[in-house]
Amino acid sequence: MEADFVIIGSGSAGSAMAYRLSEDGRHSVIVIEYGGPDIGPFIQMPAALSFPMNMETYDWGFSTEPEPHLGGRRLVTPRGKVIGGSSSINGMVYVRGHARDFDHWAESGARGWSFADVLPYFKRMENAHGGEEGWRGTDGPLHVQRGRMDNPLYHAFIQAGRQAGFETTIDYNGEKQEGFGPMEQTIHNGRRWSAANAYLKPALKRTNVKLVRGLARKIVLEGRRAVGVEIEAGRGFTTIRARREVIIAASSINSPKLLMLSGIGPAEHLRQHGIDVVVDRPGVGQNLQDHLEVYIQQECTQPITLYSKLNLWSKARIGLEWLLFKSGDGATNHFESAAFVRSRAGVEYPDIQYHFLPVAIRYDGKAAANSHGFQVHVGPMRSKSRGSVTLRSANPREKPVIRFNYMSHEDDWADFRHCVRLTRQIFGQAAFDPYRGREIQPGPHIQTDEEIDAFIRDHAESAFHPCGTCKMGDENDPMAVVDPECRVIGVEGLRVADSSIFPRITNGNLNGPSIMTGEKAADHILGRTPLPPSNQQPWINPRWETSDR
């Protein structure tokens, strides 16, 4: 078992790299994936999104250590253990991130990853059905669509944002992210359009791409050069050799774990677990970031929400329509309107994200109230809290120790309080007058800073956007793990390319930036000149220094 390139992980970045590295037919690629196939309605049916991330079959089953600032709660940290990785179990929301996110990457040492540099890769990967002309790709493998927005509540949310004085945007993935507008989905012809459907399955039709099932145990090194991957498959161990390079794309949880198991990481930590230190990289597993959010829920006085579809009879009808025609309420994730806004004057670009849903429900699919309702998921985009992923033991089968340190920076509390109060302001606009009932969550009795803080402590949930644990940066940065070409610093023939390399978390959901990372990394791996930088300039609110809207 040998190939030019061995990729660990078939997720968002891994699938994109498998497709691009094998495209010209000159190189052989082996993709190692521990998870199984993505066949069946639970993954492919968009409305069933709450199932796969709660199923042992498809999820690694990670959770955090007790989070000290969230009352000692352990939060689940779903990661896809299936073809397509987390793109097969996520919410199918498509967000590129704000232009300034990538400019910040470049300024912090990831040269060549500014917005001008990455925009051509976003265009190359996209096949956008809708969106702003000239800003979007139209012939890439990744289909991106908008929901039908049949429910009047989607329009009420956008109208309420406008009434509250905020901007609207026709395409938050175009020139202007800031504002209220339609949300985009990685759904195509009624099916989840995962990285597996977009990239991996077409790549596997080529004779030079092979998928191998197995658990990657460690990178095989000869001196300081990666030459292969030791995997556990069935009852035995085997080594898959890489003639040119090994590429880790195993997630922001498993990528640092694999580096550390291979002797690449903080020396003292590795020694504690009896692992021989090959390269002392203190940044491996550090810089862990995520988006945290709360659900603000309101009763709806009209029977127009998805609540009427939550009974068994309706679910059966929806499922049957989807199975037969790939249409109807089963063919959307129901996230069809959204907003990106700034929290205050002096913030240059959005730092709050809204997902709107025409039902009051939890992410695990359980109804929050026995009534019609609607809700937003809302949270700050750029928390200053940082966590870590460390080894529990030297056993590759043991789950790592995950500590996000959520809400450990005092600014996070002020930002979250603002999110709660701002949402009440938006739900209080005239556009919601025909629909607004009582507030379900937090509830009208939660008003003071202390009461809101207690609500956040008890109810904040992860948006499932972990990243940052193998930071990309300048070779001289002691906390950088990979250089701007995704090469692991201090090791030859080894790269990391997935959300773990993000220096700082981007605005919004991470599937889009993760796929872009795979696309761009493929050009670096092949030694190609990167796509020419774009000269398009993003819209920045002219009032940003004086107003939040």
CA-to-CA dists, residue 513 to 29, 134, 221, 243, angstroms? 23, 19, 30, 28
- Find the helix or strand (DSSP H, E) in which 410 lies: helix 410-427
Ligand-binding site membership of 12 (annotated): yes
SS3 416: helix
Other CB atoms within a 10 A radius of the CB of residue 328 amount to: 17
Rounded alpha-carbon distances, angstroms, from residue 233 to 31, 38, 208, 261, 515: 14, 19, 21, 18, 27
CA distance 325 to 500: 38
- Among residues 334, 372, 465, 524, the one annotated as catalytic is 465
Is 288 in contact with 466 (CB distance < 8 Å)? Answer: yes
The letter for the amino acid at 22 is S
Q: Taking the CB of residue 409, how many other CB atoms lie within 10 A of it?
A: 15
**Any binding-site annotation on 226?**
no
Task: Tell me which residue of 455, 435, 431 sits closest to 444, measured CA to CA.
Answer: 455
Residue 92 labeled ligand binder: no
User: Is 28 labeled as ligand-binding?
Assistant: yes
The DSSP call for residue 461 is: E
29 is in an annotated binding site: yes
357 annotated to a ligand binding site: no
Which single residue is written with the structure tokens 């004086």?
546
Per DSSP, what are the bridge partners of residue 233?
A: 236
273 is catalytic: no
Residue 415 assigned ligand-binding role: no
10 is in an annotated binding site: yes
7 labelled binding-site residue: yes
- 253 labelled as ligand-binding? no
26 is in an annotated binding site: yes
11 is in an annotated binding site: yes
Flag whether 20 is marked binding. yes
Per the CB < 8 A criterion, the answer to whether 116 and 131 are in contact is no
**Residue 388 labelled as part of a binding site:** no
Say if residue 337 carries a ligand binding annotation. Answer: no
Q: How far is residue 426's CA from residue 174's CA, in Å, rounded to a whole number?
A: 24
Residue 374 burial (CB < 10 Å; 0-12/13-18/19+)? buried
Is 432 assigned to a binding site? no
Q: What residue has token string 């709360």?
A: 294
What does DSSP assign to residue 50? Answer: T
CB atoms within 10 A of CB 212: 17
The Cα–Cα gap between 438 and 135 comes to 41
Asked if residue 24 belongs to a known ligand binding site, the reply is yes
Q: Are 517 and 13 in contact (CB under 8 A)?
A: yes
33 is in an annotated binding site: yes
Cα separation, 478 vs 55, in Å, equals: 39
Q: Is 301 helix (H, G, I), strand (E, B) or coil?
A: coil
Q: Is 32 within any annotated ligand binding site?
A: yes
- The annotation status of 17 as a binding-site residue, yes or no, is yes
Question: Is 4 assigned a ligand-binding role in the annotation?
Answer: yes
14 is in an annotated binding site: yes
Quick check: helix, strand or coil at residue 495? strand
Is 386 annotated as a binding-site member?
Answer: no
Binding-site members are 4-33
**Catalytic machinery residues:** 465
Binding-site members for FAD are 4-33
